[in-house]
Amino acid sequence: MPTYEYVCKNCGKSLEVFQSFSDKPLKKHKECGGALQKVFHARGIVFKGGGFYATDSKVSPSTSTPSDAGASDKSEKKKSSAKAATTASSSSSDSD
């Protein structure tokens, strides 16, 4: 059963009551006889599952198209040939 909070308009006291959905709201405060007003609170919302976050629909950077794969292979070859040239020049200077 849900818990409802009421505030007395006469004395200002608040009280919590366990009530069924089918029960009628309370009207009078038992202690002072003042009118009761139901208090509503903002509740947090929990989204479960996919599709709720900005990161759910983005394509991951590790996924690439076939045309991108060829471009990355070329850049890797350039890097490895540049390393080889650097290594070769440094080893030739070491032998002098």
Residue 82 belongs to some domain of the structure: no
pLDDT tens-digit readout, 6-51: 999 999 999 999 999 899 999 999 999 999 999 988 878 877 776 6
The better pLDDT of the pair 81, 21 is held by 21
For the chain, how many structural domains are there in total?
A: 1
Res 71: pLDDT:
52
Q: How far apart are CA 7 and CA 5, in angstroms?
A: 7
The mean pLDDT value for 41-64 works out to: 69
> Is residue 45 one of the residues assigned to a domain?
no
pLDDT attached to residue 36? 95
- Give a yes or no: residue 52 inside a domain: no
Q: Is residue 59 part of a domain?
A: no
Contact by Cβ (8 Å): 24, 38: no
Q: Please give the model's pTM, rounded to 2 decimal places.
A: 0.44
Segments forming the whole domain that contains residue 21: 3-39
At residue 80, φ and ψ (nearest 5 deg) are: -70, -35
Percent of the residues in the chain that have a pLDDT greater than 70, as a whole number: 51
